[in-house]
Amino acid sequence: IIRCRKGLDLPSWVCMLFLFPALWGQVSPQCPDSCHCASDTATVLCSDAGLREIPEGIPPETVSLHLERNFIRNIPESAFSDLLHLRDLYLSHNRIDSLSSGALRHLGPELRLLDLSHNQLRQASREDFGTTRAKTRLYHNPWHCDCTLQELMETLNLEPETVNGIICESSVRGVGQPLVKLLDSGVNFCSLQRKTTDVAMLVTMFVWFFMVIVYVVYYVRQNQAEARRHLEYLKSLPSPRKTPTETDTLSTGF
């Protein structure tokens, strides 16, 4: 390579053969628009980029992905399917209000931090997060506290210092309180849900039984009314009169 640069008399194809690997190493990897990619640290910075959706073309070797402070509303299922080496995923301060089914399942086992704080999430389930064991941030979302969220809390590896920020914006009990505080006090949303289901079943059975009784009573009364009308009709018929022949026959017999 040095001899080629000094202009020594070497065939051009020999120089290209030496220079091609050096030039190839200087080519920068693909990077999404409005993002900055640092190849030396495998970091992709898309913060404050005005994004409304997860950008395409994120390098598959990305280790740290910053998407915070944008206008992203949802996460499609295949958004991170190619990022097998991802360790840190920052999605805070967006407008995410829904997670597509399995949107986070494709995140590899190397993921160590998942930040979904400061969004618009109301509901999420264990199926949405898959088997990830990454430290997760879910605080500052308008959560609806129910059995599904309780099961999710018990499954995820939540960041301890942010757990108290998971507030019940709506719930059958404890509106405005941290979910972890309600659970520590003995509230069990899953048992409440089962009780509500049992009560609903009992009410349904009672209504069905009541309707059956009403129908039976109505049916019996209708039959009684029909029988009464039929009897009155028979009574209204003229009684048969005896003919003279029948009278003479009877008299002769005596």
Query: pLDDT-derived band of residue 126, with 50, 70 and 90 as boundaries?
Result: confident
Averaged pLDDT, 73-94: 92
The rounded radius of gyration (Å) of the Cα atoms in the chain is 40
Between strands 36-38 and 43-45, the pairing is antiparallel
pLDDT above 90 covers a percentage of the chain that reads: 46
Please tell me the predicted confidence (pLDDT) of residue 209: 66
Give yes or no for a contact between 143 and 122, defined as CB atoms under 8 angstroms apart: yes
Amino acid letter, residue 217: V
Average model confidence (pLDDT) across the chain: 80
Fold classification of 36-187 (topology level): 3.80.10
Alpha helices in the chain (DSSP H): 2-5, 12-25, 126-129, 147-155, 179-184, 189-236, 244-253
215-252 per-position pLDDT tens digit? 777 777 777 777 777 777 666 667 666 555 555 554 55
At residue 121, φ and ψ (nearest 5 deg) are -70, 130
Give yes or no for a contact between 89 and 80, defined as CB atoms under 8 angstroms apart: yes
Burial class (CB in 10 A: 0-12, 13-18, 19+), 119: buried
Please tell me the predicted confidence (pLDDT) of residue 130: 81
Q: Is the pLDDT of residue 164 over 90?
A: yes
Please tell me the predicted confidence (pLDDT) of residue 108: 78
Give yes or no for a contact between 29 and 59, defined as CB atoms under 8 angstroms apart: yes
Per-domain residue ranges of the chain: 36-187
Q: Residue 129 to residues 84, 95, 102, 113, 148: CA-CA distances in angstroms?
A: 16, 18, 7, 13, 13
Please tell me the predicted confidence (pLDDT) of residue 20: 41
Please tell me the predicted confidence (pLDDT) of residue 196: 47
Helices 147-155, 189-236: axis angle to 10 degrees equals 150
Chain Cα centroid distance, residue 132: 16
For the full predicted model, state whether its pTM sits above 0.75.
no
Q: Residue 199 to residues 172, 183, 188, 229, 253: CA-CA distances in angstroms?
A: 15, 23, 17, 45, 81
Please tell me the predicted confidence (pLDDT) of residue 24: 38
Residues 103 and 91: their CA atoms lie apart, in Å, by 13
| Coil, helix or strand at residue 160 | helix
Length of the chain equals: 254
Of the candidates 158, 151, 152, the one whose C-alpha atom is nearest the C-alpha of residue 133 is 158
